[in-house]
Amino acid sequence: MVLSPSHCGACVSARCPFLDQHLIVRNQQHLKKESNLPFEGYGGFSFTPASVSRNAPTAPGVYGLSNASEWVYVGVSYNIQQALWGHLREDGTLLKSREPKGFTFEICDPSQCSARQMRLVTELSPICNANEAP
């Protein structure tokens, strides 16, 4: 086993009670490097009521909505799950017209969320964030 910053000394001997979590973090770091995923730590989920309820946290952070061809929106919220539910309920908006099919998120400290959102908007150029001032 190769040690990384996400492993502790006990991982080498497989006695670490957090070995599974450390391996998950290491795998996520590897996937991010391999696929250049813009959001840290989480993969993509289907943008459906069942998936939002099951996968979206009630924690603060940034989230992204996408369809098969583009990033639709990057948002920030004190409650990611609640924000996604709001988007699911929208009707007649530009966001809904772009038919988002997936979401991802990144939990972050509330004091850092807005800056992280701005970086992601700059990097991804989501269509529904186009009129927001940098």
CATH number at residue 98: 3.40.1440.10
Looking at the structure of the chain, the number of domains it has is 2
- Give strand pairing partners of 113: none
Are residues 52 and 18 both part of a single domain? Answer: no
Q: CA-CA distance, 29 to 87, in Å (whole number)?
A: 29
- In this prediction, residue 61 carries a pLDDT of 95
Are residues 76 and 124 both part of a single domain? Answer: yes
Are residues 11 and 49 both part of a single domain? Answer: no
pLDDT at 5 over 60: no
Are residues 63 and 116 both part of a single domain? Answer: yes
Q: Position of tokens 């990057």?
A: 74
φ and ψ of 21, to 5 deg: -65, -40
φ and ψ of 84, to 5 deg: -65, -40
Q: Does a structural domain hold residue 1?
A: no
Are residues 32 and 49 both part of a single domain? Answer: no
Of 62, 43, 45, which is closest to residue 54 (Cα–Cα)? Answer: 45
User: Vertex 127, ends 109 and 69: CA angle to 5°?
Assistant: 100
- In this prediction, residue 130 carries a pLDDT of 87
Its domain, for residue 28, covers 6-36
CB-CB contact of 56 with 84 (8 Å): yes
pLDDT at 13 over 90: no
Are residues 65 and 118 both part of a single domain? Answer: yes
pLDDT confidence band for 26 (50 / 70 / 90): very low
Are residues 97 and 115 both part of a single domain? Answer: yes
pLDDT confidence band for 115 (50 / 70 / 90): very high
Are residues 73 and 121 both part of a single domain? Answer: yes
Q: CA-CA distance, 131 to 38, in Å (whole number)?
A: 21
Are residues 81 and 18 both part of a single domain? Answer: no
